[in-house]
Every structure is written in C-alpha cells, then in structure tokens.
C-alpha cells in the first residue's frame, strides 16, 4: 500500500462511522465524469475501502463500456422484481463493484409509493451494510435526477474542463443546486488541464461568480492533466493510468473525509426528491 493509499485509508477509518455518498456531476457532457468516478472508486478501493459505483447516467450508462464489462441486469430490473442484488452487482476488482442503472431512479417515479419505499430501503440496506463509499456517476446538466442525487450526497463534486462553455455550465449547475436545494458546499475538479495554473484559473472564475451571485462555497480539490496516452487506454477499455492515479490521490487527500460527517438520511432525501417534496 502506497503512502497515498495509507493516508486515505486512515483518514476514513479514523473518521466518523457510516457510508459516505459521493456524486460526480457536470454542467455538460464529455468532461470526464465516468473516468473520474471509476478512478476515485479504484483509489478508494485500493486504500482498503469497500466501494460501490452506481452508474446513474440514465439511458446513457457507460461505466460498463469503459471497463469492458457486460452486465446482464441493471437497477431497473431490480426495481421491477426481475433481478436480485446478486444479479445486478458487478465486481470490478477487490473492494470495488458497480451497478448499471438502466433507467434506474427515473423508473421509481412510475411505481406505487409503498413499493418505492420498500425498494429504496432495500437499496439503502445494501449500501450501508456493505460499503464504505457509494459513488454516483450522474447525468450531465440539470436533470431532476442529477439535482436530487448531488444535493443529497456528502461530497458533491463538480467536474469541468477549461473550455468556456463547460465552465459556464458548471457554475450554472452549482447555482441551481444552491438555489433549489440549499446546498452550500461544493467541490470542484478541473479536468484536461495543461498545468496546475490553468486549473487554479478556472477555479477562481467559478469561485468569484459563486461568491457574487450565490451562497455556495467552492472547495478546489485540484486538477487532472490532459494525457494523450490515456485516450488510447480508454479505447482499449482500460481507463487506468499511473499519472491519472496520482492526480486522483491528490484530489482525495484534499477532501477532508475525516472531518466531514456523513449526512444522515441520504435515502430519505432521495425519496423526497422523487416525491417532489
């Protein structure tokens, strides 16, 4: 176990008990949410934590594609009684598993309320009895599902690139979640940068806007460098790279996982979002 792995392992184990929920979100697509979700999951798992990734990009699920895996069943099958948890959980490596959502949480709104309550409670039991971290790879933009999951999470991570439209959309997402859900603390990661200075410049532009027009507080977790070699690895369905791993460990060590207590009632907030309360 590397020093980075040991640090993350200790920060969680010495902190508050309870499952932590991480949401990776972006204002626009194509900025690298799935890549970041998978690599955060791997780094946490390699640090001795049990991790579940839920691919919540409904209708466009691609965690399995990036990993070269083919799940036969997904969360929608579970919701309709066509699969058990054992059927939908796919093991990626030691301590790391994922669930493909299909139409996932969106499908819950079509079911009777009592059935929704029961299914969400069972999903809650699965998460909190078996995993230290649950990571949601959310749909890009301001879909209701994204707003619900991000606002309910312990660590709402907003990912952007230096592209002006991506930065503007990231700020817009923060503003809407802050205004509609009252979330004040967000974490920002900047992907595809040439160097640290570029990432800090993007962060400052988002921070200034947030301070001026919202009540949101933005914590800068760091940046991920653009690497041409990673494109080839993604095509080959091997989304891991030593340089990227180092960037992700640096991001995780800035998240104060030992100081942020898990929110109580994550799944209750999900239900409130589904029922429009």
How many beta carbons lie within 10 A of that of residue 276, not counting itself? 7
Lowest mean pLDDT among 11-15, 18-22, 195-199: 11-15
What pLDDT score was predicted for residue 16? 40
3-class DSSP state for residue 244? helix
d(CA 88, CA 78): 8
Residues 29-70 pLDDT 10s? 889 898 899 999 999 999 999 999 988 765 455 666 667 667
Cβ atoms 270, 144 nearer than 8 A: no
Q: How many CA atoms lie within 13 A of 181 on its CB side?
A: 27
Show the tokens assigned to 195: 């160097």
**Domains of the chain, residue spans:** 3-258
pTM: 0.86
Q: CA 122 to CA 111: how far, in whole Å?
A: 15
Architecture of the domain defined by 3-258? 3-Layer(aba) Sandwich (3.40)
């Amino acid at each position: 176990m590397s020093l980075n792995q040991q640090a993350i392992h200790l920060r969680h184990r010495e902190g508050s008990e309870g499952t932590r929920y991480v949401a990776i979100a972006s204002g626009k697509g194509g900025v690298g949410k799935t890549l970041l979700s998978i690599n955060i999951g791997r780094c946490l798992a390699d640090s001795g934590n049990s991790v579940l990734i839920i691919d919540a990009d409904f209708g466009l699920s691609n965690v399995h594609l990036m990993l070269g895996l083919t799940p036969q069943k997904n969360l929608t099958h579970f919701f309709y009684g066509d699969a058990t948890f054992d059927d939908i959980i796919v093991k990626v490596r030691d301590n790391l598993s994922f669930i493909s959502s299909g139409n996932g949480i969106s499908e819950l709104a079509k079911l009777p309320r009592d059935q929704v309550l029961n299914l969400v409670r069972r999903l809650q039991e699965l998460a909190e009895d078996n995993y230290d971290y649950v990571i949601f790879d959310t749909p890009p933009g301001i879909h209701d599902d994204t707003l619900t999951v991000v606002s309910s999470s312990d660590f709402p991570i907003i990912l952007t690139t230096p592209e002006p439209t991506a930065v503007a959309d990231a700020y817009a997402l923060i503003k809407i979640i802050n205004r509609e859900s009252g979330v004040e603390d967000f974490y920002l990661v900047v992907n595809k940068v040439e160097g640290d200075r570029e990432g800090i410049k993007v962060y400052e532009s988002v921070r200034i806007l947030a301070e001026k027009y919202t009540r949101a507080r933005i914590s800068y977790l760091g940046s991920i460098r653009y690497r041409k070699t990673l494109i080839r690895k993604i095509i080959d369905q091997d989304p891991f790279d030593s340089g990227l791993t180092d960037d992700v460990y640096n991001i995780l060590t800035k998240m104060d996982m030992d100081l942020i207590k898990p929110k109580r009632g994550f799944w209750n907030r999900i239900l409130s979002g589904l029922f429009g309360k």
